[in-house]
Chains A and B, each alone.
Chain A
Amino acid sequence: MDDRRATPRTVLPAASVRAASVDIYAPQWRNFIFVAPFLFFFTTLLLVPLFWGMWLSFHKADTFSSGNFVGFGNYVRLFHDKVFLQSVWNTFYFVLLTVPTLALIGLFLALCLNRRTRTAAVLRTLFFSSSVLSVTIVTLIWRIVFIPNVGLLSTIYGWFGATAPAFISDPSLAMIGIAIATVWWCIGLPMMLFLSALQQIPQDIYEAAALDNANRWQTLRSITLPSIKRTFVLVVIVQIVLQFQLFGQAWLMTRGGPNNLTKPIVLYIYDTAFRRWDLGMGAAASEVLFILILMAAMVQYLVTRNKAGQA
Chain B
Amino acid sequence: MKMKKVLFAAVSAGVLMLASPSFAATELTVQRFFGACDADFGTNTDVAKAVGECGIITSLINKFNADNPDVHVSVSTVEWPGYDQLTAQFASGEAPDIVTIHESALSDYQSKGLLMPLDDLLKSVGVTPDAFTDAARNGATKDGKIYGLPIDSWTMLYHINMDLFKQAGLVNADGTPILPKSPEELLAQAEQFKQKTGKPYFVQNLANETALYTRNLYTYLFQQNSDFFADPKHVKLNTPEAKKIVEMYKAIFDKGYTTKDLDYGGAINAFLAGGGGVQLNGTWVVGDNNAQSETKGTALNKGGYAVYPYPQLFAGAHAQYADGHTWAVSQKDRTPEQIAAIGKFLKFFADHDFDWSRTGHLPAYKAIIASDAFKALPHRNTIAAVADLGRPLPSAVQRQFAIQDIVGEEMSAAITGQKDVDAALADMESRVNELLANI
A-side residues, CB < 8 A to B, are 60, 62-65, 77, 81-83, 147-150, 166, 168-171, 254-261, 270-271, 274-278, 281
A273 to B294 Cα, complex, angstroms = 47
Which residues of chain B have C-beta atoms less than 8 A from A260's C-beta? 409
Q: Knowing A148-B207, A276-B402, A277-B399 touch, does A171 contact B262 (C-beta < 8 A)? A: no
Which residues of chain B have C-beta atoms less than 8 A from A258's C-beta? 207-208, 412-413, 416, 418
Q: Knowing A168-B208, A171-B418, A259-B409 touch, does A147 contact B87 (C-beta < 8 A)? A: no
Q: Within the complex, what minimum Cβ distance (angstroms) separates A86 from chain B?
A: 11
A–B Cβ pairs within 8 angstroms, 28 of them: A60-B438, A62-B439, A64-B114, A77-B434, A148-B261, A149-B266, A149-B275, A168-B207, A168-B208, A168-B263, A169-B207, A169-B208, A169-B260, A169-B261, A169-B263, A257-B209, A257-B210, A257-B409, A257-B412, A258-B208, A259-B409, A259-B419, A260-B409, A271-B405, A274-B88, A275-B401, A275-B402, A281-B438
A260 to B410 Cα, complex, angstroms = 9
User: Which B253-290 residues sit within 8 Å CB-CB of chain A?
Assistant: 260-263, 266, 269-270, 275
Asked if A259 and B261 make an inter-chain contact with CB atoms under 8 angstroms apart, the answer reads no
Task: Report if B435 contacts A (CB, 8 A).
Answer: yes
Which residues of chain A have C-beta atoms less than 8 A from B260's C-beta? 166, 169
**Of listed A77, A149, A166, A271, residue having the most chain B CB within 10 A:** A149
Task: Report if B34 contacts A (CB, 8 A).
Answer: no
A223 to B262 Cα, complex, angstroms = 51
Interface SS of A by simple majority:
loop
Task: Report if B373 contacts A (CB, 8 A).
Answer: no
Q: Can you name the residue of chain B whose Cβ is closest to the Cβ of A276?
A: B402
A253 to B210 Cα, complex, angstroms = 15
Asked if B438 and A77 make an inter-chain contact with CB atoms under 8 angstroms apart, the answer reads yes
With beta carbons under 8 angstroms apart, the residue of A60, A170, A255, A276 that contacts B399 is A276
A150 to B90 Cα, complex, angstroms = 40
Asked if B270 and A149 make an inter-chain contact with CB atoms under 8 angstroms apart, the answer reads yes
0/1 per residue, B396-430, Cβ < 8 Å to A? 00010110010001101100101100000001000
Which residues of chain B have C-beta atoms less than 8 A from A274's C-beta? 84, 87-88
A281 to B409 Cα, complex, angstroms = 20
Q: Knowing A83-B431, A258-B208, A278-B438 touch, does A147 contact B402 (C-beta < 8 A)? A: no
Task: Report if B334 contacts A (CB, 8 A).
Answer: no
Q: Knowing A148-B266, A258-B418 touch, does A277 contact B87 (C-beta < 8 A)? A: yes
Asked if B84 and A148 make an inter-chain contact with CB atoms under 8 angstroms apart, the answer reads no
Asked if B263 and A64 make an inter-chain contact with CB atoms under 8 angstroms apart, the answer reads no
Task: Report if B83 contacts A (CB, 8 A).
Answer: yes
On chain B, the number of residues with a Cβ less than 8 Å from chain A's Cβ atoms is 39
Q: Within the complex, what minimum Cβ distance (angstroms) separates A285 from chain B?
A: 14
Asked if B262 and A255 make an inter-chain contact with CB atoms under 8 angstroms apart, the answer reads no
When A and B form their complex, which 9 residue pairs have the shortest distance between CB atoms, in order from nearest? A257-B208, A169-B207, A259-B413, A166-B261, A148-B261, A276-B402, A169-B261, A64-B112, A259-B409
Asked if B261 and A168 make an inter-chain contact with CB atoms under 8 angstroms apart, the answer reads yes
Asked if B431 and A64 make an inter-chain contact with CB atoms under 8 angstroms apart, the answer reads no
Q: Within the complex, what minimum Cβ distance (angstroms) separates A249 from chain B?
A: 13
Q: Within the complex, what minimum Cβ distance (angstroms) separates A267 from chain B?
A: 12
Which residues of chain A have C-beta atoms less than 8 A from B210's C-beta? 257
Task: Report if B370 contacts A (CB, 8 A).
Answer: no
Asked if A254 and B208 make an inter-chain contact with CB atoms under 8 angstroms apart, the answer reads yes
Q: Can you name the residue of chain A whose Cβ is closest to the Cβ of B113?
A: A64
Q: Within the complex, what minimum Cβ distance (angstroms) separates A288 from chain B?
A: 18
Q: Given contacts A148-B262, A259-B412, list 17 more A-B pairs with CB under 8 A.
A: A64-B114, A77-B434, A82-B427, A149-B266, A166-B207, A168-B208, A168-B261, A169-B207, A169-B208, A171-B416, A257-B207, A257-B412, A270-B84, A271-B405, A275-B84, A275-B405, A277-B439
Task: Report if B19 contacts A (CB, 8 A).
Answer: no
Q: Can you name the residue of chain B whose Cβ is closest to the Cβ of A81?
A: B434
Asked if B87 and A150 make an inter-chain contact with CB atoms under 8 angstroms apart, the answer reads no
Which residues of chain B have C-beta atoms less than 8 A from A277's C-beta? 87, 108, 399, 439
Q: Can you name the residue of chain B whose Cβ is closest to the Cβ of A80?
A: B434
Which residues of chain A have C-beta atoms less than 8 A from B435's C-beta? 276, 278
Which residues of chain A have C-beta atoms less than 8 A from B207's C-beta? 148, 166, 168-169, 257-258
Which residues of chain A have C-beta atoms less than 8 A from B261's C-beta? 148, 166, 168-170
A254 to B412 Cα, complex, angstroms = 14
Task: Report if B91 contacts A (CB, 8 A).
Answer: yes
With beta carbons under 8 angstroms apart, the residue of B90, B108, B266 that contacts A147 is B266
0/1 per residue, B205-225, Cβ < 8 Å to A? 011111000000000000000
A255 to B263 Cα, complex, angstroms = 11
Which residues of chain A have C-beta atoms less than 8 A from B427's C-beta? 82
A186 to B84 Cα, complex, angstroms = 28
A165 to B231 Cα, complex, angstroms = 43
Which residues of chain A have C-beta atoms less than 8 A from B84's C-beta? 270, 274-275
Which residues of chain B have C-beta atoms less than 8 A from A147's C-beta? 263, 266
A260 to B370 Cα, complex, angstroms = 46
Q: Knowing A169-B207, A260-B409 touch, does A63 contact B87 (C-beta < 8 A)? A: yes
Q: Within the complex, what minimum Cβ distance (angstroms) separates B116 from chain A?
A: 16
Which residues of chain B have C-beta atoms less than 8 A from A276's C-beta? 399, 402, 435
A188 to B438 Cα, complex, angstroms = 44
Q: Can you name the residue of chain A whose Cβ is closest to the Cβ of B83?
A: A275
Asked if B206 and A169 make an inter-chain contact with CB atoms under 8 angstroms apart, the answer reads yes
Which residues of chain B have C-beta atoms less than 8 A from A254's C-beta? 208
Q: Within the complex, what minimum Cβ distance (angstroms) separates B183 from chain A?
A: 24
Which residues of chain B have C-beta atoms less than 8 A from A83's C-beta? 431
Q: Can you name the residue of chain A whose Cβ is closest to the Cβ of B438?
A: A278
Q: Within the complex, what minimum Cβ distance (angstroms) separates B35 from chain A?
A: 16
Q: Can you name the residue of chain A whose Cβ is closest to the Cβ of B430?
A: A82
Asked if B402 and A64 make an inter-chain contact with CB atoms under 8 angstroms apart, the answer reads no
A83 to B402 Cα, complex, angstroms = 14
Q: Within the complex, what minimum Cβ distance (angstroms) separates B310 from chain A?
A: 24
Q: Within the complex, what minimum Cβ distance (angstroms) separates A60 from chain B?
A: 7
Which residues of chain A have C-beta atoms less than 8 A from B439's C-beta? 62, 277
Which residues of chain B have C-beta atoms less than 8 A from A64's C-beta? 90-91, 112, 114
A275 to B410 Cα, complex, angstroms = 18
A170 to B269 Cα, complex, angstroms = 20
Which residues of chain B have C-beta atoms less than 8 A from A169's C-beta? 206-208, 260-261, 263
